[in-house]
Structure 1
């Protein structure tokens, strides 16, 4: 009995995947530094968070632009529904990231607090969701007898 595994690849270009890797890494790192700040009250952790969020927002903006161009370029018509969902997720991730950056620009304890922590959690979850949607590998096994 022969089995073949068919894999449908992601709709993201490899360069797009590299750009998406930055928010996927930087938003969770900012979340960890927020948690560390809430546990230690050392102000330097909010500075780390601010820089991590700024870097994630920079690349998230590039990801949104790439997703928008990719959606309307007609490159992947077979996955347009998934492309629209992906665009919505990365756009919301970017918008919440910018709001999070403004929140972290505040002074002292108010920079993180509950709102900053919740925004960091949402940005992290949206970044992971965007990576999951962009990857989108589905495998099927066919039996050939």
Structure 2
């Protein structure tokens, strides 16, 4: 009789890239909150702070994306569902690039597109984290 063994805590990403993946969320979330504060108060320092947070999120996201691209070439990781995770992480990083370009504009010229792009980056990063930390259900030997 064949038994099916599932590892309860087998995540899609390994612990080191998971640290960088999890580090992108507070950066992009902080940028969205700083953009919201700038839209409400018109203090230019909130825009500057959001700009630096977006760059921090891009750095953390790029490191996690490099690990995801390397994992795309491993058959075991592809079986664990690394492809949707890598695609969503790439989409979040591309939105972050456009967000950084938007924040490079003059202060009020970055609104409201900067706030919208920050929120989209947060949503995509949350989706990438969910895809990265979910427990895959692997059937059969790999």
TM-score of the two chains, using structure 1 as the length reference: 0.85
Aligned residues: 132
Residues in 2 aligned to 1:102 and 1:77: alpha-carbon distance in whole angstroms: 33
What secondary structure sits across from 1:72 in the alignment?
coil
The gaps in structure 2 that reach 5 residues or longer are 1-5, 138-142
Partner of 1:23: 24
Q: 1:56-135 alignment to 2 at 5 Å?
A: 56-79=57-80, 82-111=81-110, 113-135=111-133
Q: Which runs of 4+ in 1 moved over 4 A?
A: none
Task: Report what 2:36 is aligned to.
Answer: 35
Larger proportion of strand: 1
The answer to whether the aligner puts 1:44 opposite 2:42 as a matched pair is: no
> Are 2:96 and 2:121, in contact at CA under 8 Å, matched by a contact in 1?
yes
CA RMSD of aligned residues (A): 1.7
The corresponding residue for 2:140 is none
- TM-score, with normalisation over the residues of structure 2? 0.87
Q: What's the offset of the Cα at 1:51? A: 0.3
| 2:58–2:97 Cα contact (<8 Å) kept | yes
SS at match of 1:23: helix
Q: Tell me, yes or no, if the aligned pair for 2:12 and 2:131 is still in contact at 8 Å.
A: no
CA distance in 2 between counterparts of 1:134 and 1:57 reads: 17
Unpaired segments ≥5 residues, structure 1:
140-145
